[in-house]
Structure 1
Amino acid sequence: MTLPQLPGCEGRDGGHTSTFPRQARSGVSWSTDSSGNSPNHEACPYARIREGEAMNYVAQVSGRGTGVYHVAHGAADSPPVFIEGDRVFGGKGRAAGPFEHLLSALGACCQITAQIVAQSRGWTVRGFRSTTVAQFDNAVLVRGLPGTSRFRSVDIEIAVESDLTPQQIHDLGIEVERRCPVYQLFLAAGTPVTSSWSSTGQ
């Protein structure tokens, strides 16, 4: 039994896309500054990052479900996330599956990190597109063979809408991949990750 293949892309070799109870909130927890005062939580965090202030972001997700259908809740003011297993496992096509959500998280995290990096360097990024494909060995998941479930590979292709030079796009990609926590999760798991960064210039 095989899982349907996820949408694909190809890229360069990089070598190397929240549980709070419903009433709780995900957010940023700031350390106190050198004077013992807490920084203004309403201030733009990018300035604090550049000043070297310590930042601790705590995220938590709670969820419940039946069969292969799952509903997750994050921050109190955010909508629920619906997740469903593939049709081969009894899904009915009502929501994207865990793999799609995981790969979406990689693309979104790269986008957000790119915006943080760009703002810190005075660059303008007008838009961001990503396509991600993962190859997954489902022998352990489906057939229960010895070993652990793992991705064989993850490939992400990223197009940045900007007027950045090729060198700046290259530098942006290197810095995003270093700083993006979701990207680093795949690397920490030993998954081969390849990436391709380009600028549309539009």
Structure 2
Amino acid sequence: MTPTRKAITMSTVPFVVESRGAGVAQDVTVGGEHAHRFAADTYPAFGGADAAPSPLAYTLGALTSCNQISAQLVAKDLGIRLGDFTFRAQGDLDPSVFVTGAEGNANFDTVEVTAQVETDAEGEAFDHFVAELERRCPVTQLFRRSGIAYSSRWEARPLPA
């Protein structure tokens, strides 16, 4: 008889933010055991004062940080060791829909992620690790399923001795 993997049942985890603002600037409070606060604004070309990151910058930051969190969970499951990460995420946006109301898609046209991670995984093991972390990362899946041209390039670097 082949052993079967027991399904883990988890309850839904609510993520809640509450915010207040005027004009295009906003103060956001993240609910939870430890409330966190952050501010959002935008570039002057979009009516802001550039006093805080824009929501679009936060989405790219959410993408890189969620990939790093997902990588930790997947590495634990696969028995892979990880060290430091370096990310670069770029989203290309045609602002004509957003700013002037033109017809089209207000989303990013493309998003490209490059990542370097210190790890003991190599070759096919590293490729499997990346595929699995991107499959399990909620923010990566938001981007992939949105219909934009999404690409990522991951590079394994040796763990320091």
TM-score of the pair, normalised by structure 1: 0.71
- Contact kept in structure 1, 2:115 and 2:155, CA below 8 Å: yes
Residue 54 of structure 1 pairs with residue 9 of structure 2: yes
Q: Aligned ranges for residues 27-106 of structure 1 at < 5 Å?
A: 51-55=6-10, 56-76=12-32, 77-106=34-63
| Equivalent pair of 1:169/1:197 in contact (CA under 8 Å) | no
Alignment partner of 1:176: what SS? helix
1:47: which partner in 2? none
1:130 equivalent in structure 2: 87
State the alpha-carbon separation in 2 of the partners of residues 144 and 90 from structure 1.
15
Alpha carbons 1:152, 1:192 under 8 Å: kept: yes
Question: Do residues 148 (structure 1) and 105 (structure 2) align?
Answer: yes
Count of matched residue pairs: 153
**Structure 2: segments with no counterpart, 5+ residues:** none
Q: For 2:145 and 2:73, how far apart are their aligned partners in 1? A: 22
Letter in 2 for 1:54: T
Equivalent-residue separation in structure 2 for 1:78 and 1:169 (angstroms): 36
Aligned to 2:69: 112
1:166 Cα offset (Å): 2.6
Change in CA separation of 1:61 and 1:103 when aligned onto 2, cut-off 3 Å: same
The 2-side partners of 1:173 and 1:99 are apart by 24
Task: Tell me how far apart the structure 1 counterparts of residues 71 and 47 of structure 2 sit (CA, whole Å).
Answer: 38
Identity %: 31
Equivalent pair of 1:159/1:198 in contact (CA under 8 Å): yes
- CA-based RMSD of the aligned residues comes to 1.5
SS at match of 1:123: coil
1:104 and 1:198 map into 2 onto residues whose CA distance is 19
For the residue of structure 2 that corresponds to 1:196, the secondary structure is: strand
Contact 2:86 2:115 in 1 (8 A): yes
What one-letter code is carried by the residue in structure 2 that aligns with 1:189? S
State which drifts further: 62-71 or 145-154: 145-154
**Higher RCO (CA 8 Å, separation ≥ 6 residues):** 1
Letter in 2 for 1:68: V
Runs of 4+ in structure 1 off by over 4 angstroms are none
Which moved further from structure 2: 175-184 or 73-82?
Answer: 73-82
Q: Distance in 1 between matches of 2:120 and 2:157?
A: 8
Instruction: Mark the runs of 5 or more structure 1 residues left unpaired by the alignment.
Output: 1-49
